[in-house]
Each structure stands twice: as structure tokens, then as C-alpha cells.
């Protein structure tokens, strides 16, 4: 049983074969095969403990012929011969996901769909997608308690995003989902607290101006 975050990710998986990077117990590939979303999967994991759990869970489900576990960093576990249709990278910070994409997209063949779930700061992900021959076809925000998770879905194609779209998400800005608005409201409150503390305790005018710009950008989106 997947949590709400991975359940939403699973809805964007297409094709015959899935590559799940940072698989952590293989929950997503197991569920994707069980539900018929894909026929085969590859799990990539760079940490020994989660890799062992991945192998054990695949064995427990009797899916050794359907899911292959590979030990390695990011997209280094993949090769063009794998012919994957969807790549999922979930549960990481945005900068790390961007780094994985930038350093390993050349290991993939045919530019598969990318389903990327970031815990923080999605700006660098969109920057990499825009310079790597991908365009964003969907985005959503999932709220789980006090945590907000962004999901970005991208496919091959040209894109030309402005700075505002790179920061907030071109599709999210159009859809204006409730969870997206709540996420921005939370961030606005956070930035206002930072601004107040800086004004009282810091002489770093550059940082104060930077936070003020962030506050104004958030207010502009929220007031649309």
C-alpha cells in the first residue's frame, strides 16, 4: 500500500518498463507491476540498507523475474539498452534530483517520461529539464500533514520558461490547486519571519533585499 505521495506518482507511470531511482524498499515498482501499470521495472539504490530491503521485498513478492535491483548512484545504474519508458525519482531534495538528471540523462535511450517528486526547492529541476530537451506536461502538490510535496511530470519537447515559471511551476501557476496555494501561504509566513529577524539582528542588506524580493514574488502569485 503506497502513501498518498507515491500513489499520486504511480498515476503518471506509463509504458512497459519503469526505472525507479532511489527506490528505497521497491514499494513503487512492486505496486506498479501489481496494478498493471508496467510489466517490468529496475530499481536503483545507492545506500546498502535500503538496497538490501529492496532485494528482500522483491523476493518476498515473488517478482525476481519482473524487477531487477541495481546498486549504484543515480542514473549510473541505467544504460540505453534498458529501453525504459518512465523514470521516477522520488523523495529527494530538488537540487539532488537536478544533479542526478544532469549527470545521467545520457544513460537513457529515447528520452523516457520523467516523474519527479521533490521534497524541497524545485527550481533547479525545471532549469535542468528546460536545458535537456524536456518540457513539463503536468505538475501537482500533495499535502501530507504539515509537509508539501511537488510532483513534476516531463516528456521530450522544447520549452521556454520565464523565471517565475521556473520558480513556481508553469502548470502549477495555471492550475492554482488548493495545496499549491497553501504551500505558498506557508512559505510566505516563513519568509516574513526571516525578514523580521534579519531587520532586527542583521546588517546584511543584500540578504534582507533578497528575502524582500521573495516575499513580493510570493504575494504576487497569491494575489492573482
pLDDT digits 0-9 by tens, 28-63 = 999 999 999 999 999 999 999 999 999 999 999 999
**What integer pLDDT is reported at residue 199 of this predicted model?**
87
User: Which residue, 116, 35, 43, 55, is CA-closest to 84?
Assistant: 43
Model-level pTM?
A: 0.94
User: Which residue, 91, 101, 32, is CA-closest to 67?
Assistant: 32
**What integer pLDDT is reported at residue 24 of this predicted model?**
78
User: Which residue, 36, 33, 88, is CA-closest to 62?
Assistant: 33
Q: Where are the domains of the chain?
A: 4-166, 182-222
Counting Cα atoms < 13 Å in the Cβ hemisphere of 208 gives 10
118 against 199, higher pLDDT: 118
| Domain 4-166 CATH assignment equals 3.40.190.10 | no
Amino acid at each position: 500500500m503506497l502513501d498518498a505521495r507515491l500513489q499520486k506518482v504511480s498515476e503518471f507511470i506509463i509504458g512497459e518498463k519503469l526505472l525507479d531511482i532511489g527506490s528505497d524498499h521497491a514499494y513503487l515498482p512492486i505496486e506498479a507491476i501489481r496494478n498493471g501499470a508496467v510489466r517490468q521495472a529496475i530499481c536503483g539504490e545507492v545506500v546498502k540498507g535500503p538496497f538490501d530491503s529492496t532485494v528482500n521485498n522483491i523476493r518476498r513478492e515473488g517478482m525476481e523475474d519482473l524487477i531487477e535491483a541495481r546498486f549504484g548512484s543515480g542514473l549510473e545504474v541505467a544504460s540505453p539498452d534498458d529501453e525504459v519508458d518512465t523514470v521516477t525519482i522520488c523523495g529527494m531534495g530538488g537540487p539532488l534530483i537536478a544533479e542526478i538528471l544532469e549527470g545521467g540523462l545520457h544513460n537513457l535511450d529515447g528520452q523516457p517520461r520523467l516523474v519527479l517528486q521533490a521534497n524541497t526547492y524545485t527550481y533547479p529541476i525545471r532549469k535542468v529539464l528546460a536545458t535537456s530537451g524536456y518540457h513539463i506536461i503536468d505538475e501537482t502538490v500533495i499535502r501530507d500533514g504539515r509537509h508539501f510535496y511537488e510532483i513534476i511530470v516531463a516528456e521530450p519537447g522544447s520549452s521556454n520558461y520565464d523565471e517565475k515559471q521556473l520558480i513556481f511551476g508553469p502548470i502549477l501557476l495555471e492550475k492554482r490547486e488548493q495545496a499549491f496555494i497553501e504551500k505558498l501561504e506557508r512559505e510566505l509566513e516563513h519568509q516574513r519571519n526571516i525578514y523580521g529577524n534579519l531587520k532586527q539582528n542583521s546588517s546584511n542588506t543584500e540578504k534582507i533585499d533578497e528575502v524582500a524580493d521573495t516575499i513580493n514574488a510570493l504575494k504576487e502569485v497569491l494575489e492573482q
